[in-house]
Structure 1
Amino acid sequence: MEDEFAYLEDLNDKRTEEFIKEENERTKKELAKKADEVYPHVLDNFKKPTVRQIFAFDDERAAVLIYGEKRLVMIGDNEIYSAQGDEVITEIWKVRGTKQLGVSIGKKGSDVTRTLILTEEGKIWKDLGELSYQPFYYNNELCYVKSYRDGAPPDGGEYPTERVFCGNDIVYGKELKPGELISVDSFGETLTLTKMKGWRYSELYIGESFDKLKKADEGEVIEVIDYKGGLVYLKNDSVVMGNIVIRFDHPVNSVAGGDGFVAASVIKDYSTPIQFYDFQGRKIGEEPHDHIIMMDGKGTTLFVLETSFTYSSKVTKRRVVNGVGAEEKLIEMEKEEVSVTDIYVKGDVLLHGYLVYKTLSPKAVIVLGYGGFRVSLLPTFPKGLKVLLDEGYALLVTNLRGGYENGEEWHKAGMLLNKKNVFRDFEQFLRVVKAMGGKTVAFGGSNGGLLVGAVLNETPHLIDCAVISHPVLDMLRYHKMYVGKYWLEEYGDPDDPKFRDYLLSYSPYHNLRKGLPKTFVHTGINDDRVHPAHALKYVARSRKIGNDVLLLVNDSGHSLSDPETEAREYSYVIAFIEECAK
């Protein structure tokens, strides 16, 4: 079918530039006054420091990435690197067996990053170049993975794809198919490589060189943990250690290993306790936690990063020797007084959500959903929406099929030809709020934007206002824009008759209807994951049929940005919600 708005996929087309300019002017005319009013409060929230990532640098110190007014990397108590000017730090990497670490940086408003190798003192030892990740040493040579998102690699082949470089040479990757991801590491003379097809199926390889890698295992959700005289790895909800297999009764959220112990954070009753085991598979302890973001072990020490609805981040460590030692708090940041209630809804399955609030009579309930790619929505500090909680709104965080809150079967129940289950789950929560007389603000980003867009078309009467952020909306062309081929295993291939009609039946762009609730759509012109055209085309078609829809296109990417850019974006979201829901 002919698409009259196809030109919006070309960001260099003069018509596209004019469309973005006109839409931004329209949105700013309606929302700028309120956005400017709330911006200082939102910016203050984003400037407050939050720990985003950790790993064990040694058995005494963690390497820590901190976001806030300053974005910096620390080892223990020492600041070794901070973002300068319009630079943004996006990720830190362990370089196993060395006193070095990797730091990925980019420019404000862009998703293109480069990885620097730093010494323990913070000196730049090497720049690996753009879109480089996962640094490691093999045969005393520095190696890394490089991504090719919008062009073929030097050895040819389709893209998006990845290659492994050692020095200046490609040593692995030509056999990769578009959309396959790899994770590589080395343990002395042993290499491990995990090839991932989508977000659920993996092949694990091990060997002494890249040309001698042999398949060690395959299946769902494989992640290498450590090498302790043999490979230690996660496979679905079990940890495999040679002939010993630790099988968990709940979905595994994250795993770390150390000398003689394995620590697994599992998802149990929608929180994440840590269970400890020795290398004989015997359980040696358990700790309750709200939401473990990540863990890492070194020697007998385990470092833990966690968050909650009531604090933004906490870093702790404990010794694990014949049992679990007392927790030592290293960092705790930004506390918040909110009430949290578990909500259970019975549809064709039992659903769970978290209601977060400061008042029992909220102005409206912001219903947040995602439902895909094994992403679990667990207790997380609501930094971006904190202003709305302060102003008397409530937040309902929904655990939908397609996530991992109840394991891989829960994920499968919301992917491919089961995707509409996610929309039905979200609708159940909206019905609960409406039945209690509340106003609903449907909110979702990326895959969550697809969710909100689809539910808007199906049940507009359940939604008073909608916010669609950096969304996937054209389900017939998503795989032809930027890195969409990575999502084929999740959504299905639009070029395959098996999936095409199903994708078309719920594609938010193709099923737009007249009379939808007021909607705010925002995206970033530099988003290189979800093409901005999803948002542009959707708004163009929605307005043509007479819907009340606003579009804001920022100079941002898909991922993390600087506090000012994040605050500006959220200021418009908040301004829209306040104007729409009043």
Structure 2
Amino acid sequence: MSLNDPYLWLEDLSDKKVLEWAYEQDRIAREYVRASSERLYGRLLKLYEEPLPYAFRVTRAGYIYMVRGRDYRLRIRYRDGEERDIVSSESLGPDAIITWYAARDEGDVVAYYHSSGGRDVGFLDVIDVDSGELIDRIEGSVHGIVFLGRDRFYYSRFYRSGKCPDGVSAPCDRVFLRSSGKEEMVFGAGIPTSNFILVKSSSDMGSALITISYGWHRSRIYFGDLLRPESWVEIYGGDFVSHPIDRVGDCVLVATYDRGGMGRIVCVSGNRVEEIVGEGDEHLSSAAILDNVILAVYTDKDYCYSKIHYYSVKGDLLGRYIPETPSTINLYMDRGFEGEILVEMTSYVQRYRVLRIGRDLSVGVIAESRRLEDIDIDHGWARSHDGARIHYFIVGKRGSKPSRIVLYGYGGFGISLTPNYYLWSIPLIEDGAILVVANLRGGSELGEKWHREGMREKKINVFMDFIAVAEDLRRRFGDIKIAIHGRSNGGLLVASAITMRPDLFDAAVIGYPVIDLLRFDKLYIGRAWVPEYGDPEDPRDRRYLEEYSPYHKVKPGAGYPPVFIYTGLNDDRVHPAHAFKFHARLREYGYESYLRVERSSGHIGSSPEILAREAADYLGFIYTALGLHTRSG
């Protein structure tokens, strides 16, 4: 295989010729889908502008949460029922988005992170909730806020390039103590490249619980006095994933995946490790503490939906909560406050449902969206190349014949594709197509072992799982058309699938992808993904990366299906050159490929108008490829 790279020049976004080339490819792509895109845009805009409340946090003042719709807002619902905005993205500038926030327990001060045009790099603003007064502002890539006072807090800074203050090469995290606008680094010196640091406090605000993660498959836990960083010492960890839940008495409760990878909960106290909740045959996806009750969220081993088990801190099973509709359960906060915790759910038929769980384990609904009543959800199981059983969801309008299918997947970084309300899929389903979502290795639907079976030299399993699902669909439903779709790491999946088995697919849509596996570590923060993919600079890793890197697998005469690739110039996480170079190589060999380049979008999204227009364009391509008819919005 020749590793000559004639399109290396497309990595330089400061080169006017590169931008001119990209704009011309974009013009061609948009013109090709214009007719069907225009019919879809109105419907999609309504979907993307529909308000979505999420990231609920209980405080003494009331519930603080975010809303995404026509813009991005941070809101508060006071204890007396009054609601109001704390801040809106409209006040932060054009194309601004708010991505996350942290709040004091008192609910009087919040810190929120915002950026422009979907970039990862932005600003952290700390403001007074009542007056809106700006208390502090930090520029850069920051996360993990722990408030110690109104203008005093810890935060982690992510260094994307260059070196950390202690000389370690980026990417790397370091923890700072910020007070009245001044700061000092207090933790992380000497921690190697590609390790990430997250600090949180115990419920009583007495202890610091720190997770140091190498990639997405190994972590260590540190513990100490919240106010004394010099006391933070390692108490648990190894070549496995673990997360601190909270401190209860003299115990640090830890969710650990040290045995079969499904997860158990242990008490770490000094040199003693005592099992509280044992490992079962279902994946412990998250856990939280509410007073003296552990909420453990598990993923069903057969049908890949979420459910909650309640345990005492001694490990006694107190009860279960199983959603009426197969759903994904998210815990934005991993601890309750003043006797309540808020739990968020989503599914294929309901975008959001927010539950309040009280200390008596009573469950009430505080917010929910409309339900889609005419949707059927079915399941399938395929056998991969090595016999692994691969589950997939089948979602369609009641009575629809499975003749046109959009197969979606991800398969990496331990991210599970449990039920979700994919906005882009709604028009497809309404117009008679079938959405199939595959639970591939590389995710964590079946535990950490499932994740590791799709990492590094075993990454080929992910692609083979995806291919097995496509083959099973063709056996099951006969004469069908299949378009495949994936984004980010899912873009790598789709690009790999078409280079391995082009005969299986009728069209491919690839969004914001990682595709050049021999140079990803040299583009933006790609070095951070070495633990997941492998190191192109290591000869052993490079050998298997060469075997599946899609960019290097493109060859003439292979009969690849039509491809639509979309990316954004503001994507400062996954370099647009991955998309540029793959498209250029496909076009070099005469394949039908279209490249859409958004000027105001990054890896984390953009405004609803831009998101709707982008979705309308790649859906327009799918409609054309599958022969679907669309109604106007």
TM category, shorter: over 0.9
Structure 2: which 5+ residue stretches go unaligned? 78-82, 258-262, 269-273, 628-633
2:264 aligned to 238, 243, 253, which one? 238
> CA distance change for structure 1 residues 144 and 93 in 2, over 3 Å: closer, same or farther?
same
Amino acid across the alignment from 2:619: I
1:173 paired residue number: 188
2:584 aligned to 540, 547, 555, which one? 540
Pairwise CA distance, 1:122: 6.1
Match of 1:16, SS state, is: helix
Contact 2:286 / 2:298 at 8 angstroms: preserved in 1?
A: yes
> CA distance change for structure 1 residues 107 and 267 in 2, over 3 Å: closer, same or farther?
same
Q: Give, in whole Å, the separation in 1 of the partners of 2:615 and 2:161.
A: 29
Contact 1:262 / 1:279 at 8 angstroms: preserved in 2?
A: yes
Amino acid across the alignment from 1:246: V
2:552 paired residue number: 510
Q: Deviations over 1:175-232 (max 9, x none)?
A: 1222111111234342222110010110111123333321100032222222222322
1:574 aligned to 597, 611, 619, which one? 619
1:19 aligned to 18, 21, 36, which one? 21
Pairwise CA distance, 1:75: 2.3
Mapped pair 1:558 → 2:558:
no
1:448 paired residue number: 490
Matches within 5 A, 1:401-416: 401-416=441-456
Contact 2:264 / 2:275 at 8 angstroms: preserved in 1?
A: no
Q: Give, in whole Å, the separation in 2 of the partners of 1:79 and 1:363.
A: 46
Contact 1:197 / 1:489 at 8 angstroms: preserved in 2?
A: yes
1:275 paired residue number: 309
> CA distance change for structure 1 residues 272 and 109 in 2, over 3 Å: closer, same or farther?
closer
Amino acid across the alignment from 2:613: R
Contact 2:117 / 2:605 at 8 angstroms: preserved in 1?
A: no
Amino acid across the alignment from 2:550: P
Mapped pair 1:195 → 2:212:
yes
1:524 aligned to 568, 589, 604, which one? 568
1:183 paired residue number: 198
Contact 1:255 / 1:295 at 8 angstroms: preserved in 2?
A: no
Q: Deviations over 1:484-539 (max 9, x none)?
A: 11111111111112211111011000001232100001111111111111000111
2:433 paired residue number: 393
Contact 1:401 / 1:410 at 8 angstroms: preserved in 2?
A: yes
Q: Give, in whole Å, the separation in 1 of the partners of 2:278 and 2:318.
A: 15
352-361 or 241-250, larger mean C-alpha shift:
241-250
Pairwise CA distance, 1:145: 1.0
Q: Give, in whole Å, the separation in 1 of the partners of 2:167 and 2:190.
A: 11
Matches within 5 A, 1:197-346: 197-208=214-225, 209-219=228-238, 220-229=240-249, 230-236=251-257, 237-242=263-268, 243-249=274-280, 250-268=282-300, 269=302, 270-289=304-323, 290-296=327-333, 297-321=336-360, 324-325=361-362, 327-337=363-373, 338-346=375-383
Cα RMSD after superposing both structures: 1.9
Q: Deviations over 1:293-329 (max 9, x none)?
A: 22532232121001011100111102123xx22x211
Matches within 5 A, 1:397-476: 397-435=437-475, 436-476=478-518
Contact 1:254 / 1:295 at 8 angstroms: preserved in 2?
A: no
2:88 aligned to 82, 85, 88, which one? 82
Pairwise CA distance, 1:112: 2.0
> CA distance change for structure 1 residues 568 and 529 in 2, over 3 Å: closer, same or farther?
same
Structure 1: which 5+ residue stretches go unaligned? none
Amino acid across the alignment from 2:313: F
Contact 1:402 / 1:410 at 8 angstroms: preserved in 2?
A: yes
1:480 paired residue number: 522
Q: Give, in whole Å, the separation in 2 of the partners of 1:308 and 1:52.
A: 14
2:52 aligned to 46, 50, 53, which one? 50
Contact 2:414 / 2:442 at 8 angstroms: preserved in 1?
A: yes
1:132 paired residue number: 142
Q: Give, in whole Å, the separation in 1 of the partners of 2:212 and 2:165.
A: 20
Q: Deviations over 1:282-301 (max 9, x none)?
A: 11110113210225322321
| Identical aligned residues as a percent | 30
Amino acid across the alignment from 2:595: L
Pairwise CA distance, 1:356: 0.4
Contact 1:138 / 1:189 at 8 angstroms: preserved in 2?
A: no
Match of 2:551, SS state, is: coil
Pairwise CA distance, 1:70: 3.6
Match of 1:487, SS state, is: helix
Q: Deviations over 1:14-50 (max 9, x none)?
A: 2211210110111122112322221111111100111
Match of 2:306, SS state, is: coil
Amino acid across the alignment from 2:189: K
Pairwise CA distance, 1:154: 4.4
Match of 2:173, SS state, is: strand
Amino acid across the alignment from 2:123: R
2:74 paired residue number: 73
Q: Give, in whole Å, the separation in 2 of the partners of 1:104 and 1:95.
A: 15
Pairwise CA distance, 1:97: 6.9
Pairwise CA distance, 1:109: 3.7
Match of 1:516, SS state, is: coil
* TM-score normalized by the length of structure 2: 0.88
> CA distance change for structure 1 residues 427 and 544 in 2, over 3 Å: closer, same or farther?
same
Pairwise CA distance, 1:64: 1.4
Match of 2:614, SS state, is: helix
Q: Deviations over 1:225-268 (max 9, x none)?
A: 22222322221212223445212422112211121111011001
Match of 2:331, SS state, is: strand
Amino acid across the alignment from 1:223: H
Match of 2:571, SS state, is: coil
Amino acid across the alignment from 1:173: G
444-453 or 426-435, larger mean C-alpha shift:
426-435
2:260 paired residue number: none
Q: Give, in whole Å, the separation in 2 of the partners of 1:120 and 1:470.
A: 36
Match of 1:495, SS state, is: coil
Q: Deviations over 1:440-489 (max 9, x none)?
A: 00111111111111110110000000001100100011111111111111
Match of 1:371, SS state, is: coil
Contact 1:95 / 1:135 at 8 angstroms: preserved in 2?
A: no
Contact 2:71 / 2:608 at 8 angstroms: preserved in 1?
A: no
Q: Give, in whole Å, the separation in 2 of the partners of 1:404 and 1:345.
A: 17
Pairwise CA distance, 1:98: 6.5
Q: Give, in whole Å, the separation in 2 of the partners of 1:409 and 1:292.
A: 21
Amino acid across the alignment from 1:238: R
Q: Give, in whole Å, the separation in 2 of the partners of 1:251 and 1:525.
A: 37
Amino acid across the alignment from 1:352: H
Match of 2:391, SS state, is: strand
Amino acid across the alignment from 1:543: R
342-351 or 520-529, larger mean C-alpha shift:
342-351
Contact 1:145 / 1:162 at 8 angstroms: preserved in 2?
A: yes
> CA distance change for structure 1 residues 27 and 398 in 2, over 3 Å: closer, same or farther?
same
Q: Which has the higher contact order (CA 8 A, sep 6+)?
A: 2
Q: Give, in whole Å, the separation in 2 of the partners of 1:414 and 1:559.
A: 24
Match of 1:281, SS state, is: coil
Pairwise CA distance, 1:130: 2.6
